[in-house]
Structure 1
Amino acid sequence: MKKVLYITTVSRTINAFLVPHIEMLLDEGYEVDVATCIDKPINDKLIKRNIKIFNIPFARNPLHRGNLKAFKELIKIQKKEQYDIIHVHTPVASVFGRLLKLRYPKLKTIYTAHGYHFLKGGPKIGWLAYYPIEKVMARFTDVTITINQEDYDITVNKLKPKKTYLMNGVGLDLSHYKILPKEDNLKKRQELGLEEDDFVIIMIAELNENKNQIQLIKAMELLKDRYPNIKALLVGEGHKLSELQQEVSQRGLQNQIQFLGFRSDINELINASNIGVLLSYREGLPRNLMELMACEKQVVVTDIRGCRDIVCDDTVGKIVKVGDYLQTASCLEFYYLNQNNKTWDECLVDKYSIKNILEDLMAVY
């Protein structure tokens, strides 16, 4: 029986993306445990499978002294448990997890890169700070799994671990995202104070600098006088909430933009909307776009890796430059004026399904 240790910086990564992966390995006869800093209780599905959970004091800052203590804990765990494979995710955990190879050279290491902190056209600081680390750590990596074409090319051509795979993300359970009846959508709109003839844009993203909600806010300001029934729902929490609320107030958009915070009714909110947007500076392979596609909603996204992989043609959506709120407003106007001309290929989202991703992951193992 092969023993596997999943290592992430924080437990919310396990809960958000990796539970089906671990369940599959358990079903296939692997023994799987988890090492992570527990910021959220581990999903009950894994607790019921009686896996071992090691609470490791990772800090998100890679230079934080607490990470040295975390590394020492990992060494103790590996010495006792003798895992055959470690599978690391997220930047800090991926570094210290792979460094176990210094002590245990026979240990096999799998690294899923959810989106490097350096990218083509990105800030130089990302290349200066993170690229050298990834270049060194590739020496301690048996397999790197990438989730977008740009990261795959960089990994193969520049980082050069032993093996590299390109997978279509971490998997989306398509059964959770269904097209709902019009009556349900109208009820949700009423709940949100929206009218039946409102044109609703939804943005599902943490409220932080990278997700760039301000680009949507500026675009909405350009449209508000001509099209007052274009509305936007911003779903997510984050430290920029008060700043963004102030921007909305100063631009007189209180009637156009709602901040909904954390929501558990994402499928219903998507169905009640007309289109989605994601205007980030950096992404890996954004799952929120897959969620929108699963409900046959077109999107407006920024011209960055990950978004380019998903928005492969005009049937999926339109691509705008980062920071270009004029172009963004133009695309939103286009969809508002062409609401009845949507075409959709139902097969587009299938490659992101959790079923297909698990098959690919099992092949890697």
Structure 2
Amino acid sequence: MLEKKKVLFSATVYSHLAAFHKPFIKLLQDKGYEVHAAANPDHGRKEEIEEMGVICWDIPFSRSPYQLSNFKAMIELKNLFQKHYFDLIHVHTPVASFLVRYTAKKYKQGPVLYTAHGFHFYKGAPIQNWLIYYTAEKLARRWTDGLIVMNKEDYDNGTKLGFKENESLFFTHGVGVSFDQYSVSTDSSGYIRQQLNIADNDIVITYIAELIERKNHIYLLRNWENILNNYSNVHCLIVGTGRREEDLKKYVEQNQLKNIHFLGFRKDIPEILSQSDIVTLLSFHEGLPRCIMEAMVSGKPLVVTNVRGSRDLVKHGVNGFVVDLEDDQSLVESFAKLINDKNLREQMGKSSFKEIQSYNLANVLNEMQEIYSHFIDRN
């Protein structure tokens, strides 16, 4: 009996694989491949991967390139690659992907694919990001058989790194979004509004993001009083957790900002979106934000910052507004236009749903299947 071909998925932590790559793991399992995963068990969700029948290898990757644990990770990768040959390796997240690509090529593994979920070097990034991460990717080019990107800026940078279109450089519509899961009609129970004592005709702005510096919640909060001065019936739902949670709550308290609701980690995102009127994300940088894709499937108008990824999804004046970072006046005016005009919200919401069609998970699975076949079939 022929031994099954083996595929390895790798990322810094299992939670990344659980959040974004379970459909692609299942795609390869359904085709008869034995799937393995290598990641750090910190941050949890390893059990979700194991429950799929994936063979897991705990590797002590660190998100920071400066941590000594990455040297131990390389030793453990060496041991893994000496025991197993993988016909295909698909890597994610910058540091883990660099270590896996280098070690895999050293120990003569099969083709290695890297999905860039947003290069750490980008237009406007600090110079040290370019010095560290661009240099690292330039080195890793020789160990990377295929680069997968999901926004135009990263695609352009991929060509600068020397990757060739449809040969070693591939564009996909992100990690996809399940239309069945997020196409939720307006929830008749309205339980979220009821729990928060928000009236049916009040306007709800929802901000779904990890509470970290990069997601730039403070941009909205510092302008919130100005918004409320004109529209007292507006509420903001902040969904997520993160290391800046206490700082943001303290800012709200100290500035006596009203109608701000911190909801923490939630599993009922489709229901929250169904009861929202506007969705916003004001990050300093993005790859291709999943929360914006989800909002678009839910038929919502958007207000986002003019950064890579967000501007790939939101067309200014079509399905929302794209504002520059630090442009407080434009931010407030964009919200005002949507708060004032229900017809505009509905029109832009319909445009969101139209614009998101290519990002359907079923379509992305087909895109990835073609890429996988391109490398596995030739291996």
Q: Tell me the TM-score normalised to structure 1 length.
A: 0.95
Query: Which whole-Å CA distance do the structure 2 matches of 1:159 and 1:258 have between them?
Result: 47
User: 1:134–1:159: 8 Å Cα contact kept in structure 2?
Assistant: no
- 1:35 correspondence with 2:42: no
Q: Confirm or deny that 1:356 pairs with 2:360.
A: no
Aligned residue in 2 for 1:175: 180
Structure 2 counterpart SS, 1:225: helix
Whole-Å separation in 1 of the counterparts to 2:360 and 2:299: 15
Give percent identity, aligned residues only: 37
The 1:43–1:180 alpha-carbon spacing in structure 2 relative to 1, beyond 3 Å, is farther
CA shift digits 1:103-132 (9 cap, x unpaired): 234531100000011111222221122111
Alignment of 1:21-32 (within 5 A): 21-32=24-35
Equivalent residue in structure 1 for 2:289, among 271, 286, 290: 286
Q: Distance in 1 between matches of 2:215 and 2:329?
A: 18
* 1:232-262 CA distance string (max 9 Å, x none): 0100101111111122122221x22111110
Partner of 1:19: 22
Shift of residue 312, structure 1, vs aligned partner: 2.6
Q: How does 1:216-295 map to 2 (within 5 A)?
A: 216-253=220-257, 255-295=258-298
1:78 aligns with 81
Residue 15 of structure 1 contacts residue 43 of structure 1 at CA under 8 Å; is this kept in 2? no
Q: Shift of the alpha carbon at 1:336? A: 0.5
Aligned ranges 1:178-193 → 2 under 5 Å:
178-181=183-186, 183-185=188-190, 187-193=191-197
Deviation at 1:313, TM superposition (A): 4.4
- Contact preservation (8 Å) 2:62, 2:96: no
How far 1:41 sits from its partner (Å)?
A: 3.3
Q: Could you give the per-residue CA deviations for residues 256-306 of structure 1, whole angstroms, max 9, x where no partner exists? A: 211111011111111111000000011000010011001100100000010
Note the 1:337-356 alignment, pairs <5 A. 337-341=340-344, 342-343=346-347, 344-345=350-351, 346-356=353-363
Deviation of 1:102 after TM superposition, in Å, equals: 4.2
Further displaced range: 74-83 or 18-27: 74-83
Q: d(CA) in 1 for partners of 2:51 and 2:205?
A: 39
**Which of the residues 295, 318, 323 maps onto 1:320?**
323
The 3-state SS of whatever aligns with 2:188 is helix
Preserved CA contact (<8 Å) 1:90 1:114: yes
Structure 2 distance, partners of 1:106, 1:81, is 9
Task: State the distance in 2 between where 1:41 and 1:277 align.
Answer: 27
Q: Does the 8 A contact of 2:187 with 2:271 survive in 1?
A: no
CA distance in 2 between counterparts of 1:49 and 1:279 reads: 35
Q: For the residues of structure 2 that align with 1:267 and 1:73, how far apart are their CA atoms?
A: 40
Corresponding residue for 1:116?
119
**CA shift in 2, pair 1:285/1:13, >3 Å:** same
Q: CA RMSD in A?
A: 1.6
Q: CA deviation at 1:160?
A: 3.1
Q: Which residue of 1 aligns with 2:53?
A: 50
Aligned-partner Cα distance in 1 for 2:329–2:211: 21
Give the match's secondary structure for 1:171: coil
Q: Does 1:306 align with 2:309?
A: yes
Structure 1 stretches of 4+ moved >6 Å: none
| Distance in 2 of aligned mates of 1:313 and 1:2 | 46
Deviation, structure 1 residue 29: 1.6
Shift of 1:79: 1.2
Cα 1:277–1:72 change in 2 (3 A) is same
SS in structure 2 of the partner of residue 34 of structure 1: strand
Q: How does 1:203-222 map to 2 (within 5 A)?
A: 203-222=207-226
Give the equivalent residue in structure 2 for 1:296: 299
8 Å CA contact 1:205–1:236 kept in 2: the answer is yes
Q: Supply the AA of the counterpart residue of 2:356.
A: V
Q: Which amino acid aligns with 1:15?
A: A
Distance 1:97 1:27 in 2: 25
Amino acid at match of 1:163: S
Residues of 2 paired with 1:359 and 1:241: CA distance?
38
Report deviation, 1:151: 0.1
Tell me the distance in 1 between the aligned counterparts of 2:283 and 2:111. Answer: 34
Distance in structure 1 (CA, Å) of the matches to 2:47 and 2:305: 33
Q: Is residue 2:134 matched to residue 1:131? A: yes
Aligned partners of 2:204 and 2:237 also within 8 Å:
yes
Q: TM-score, normalised by structure 2?
A: 0.92
Preserved contact between residue 88 and residue 97 of structure 1 (Cα < 8 Å): yes
Q: 1:153 aligns with which of 148, 152, 156?
A: 156
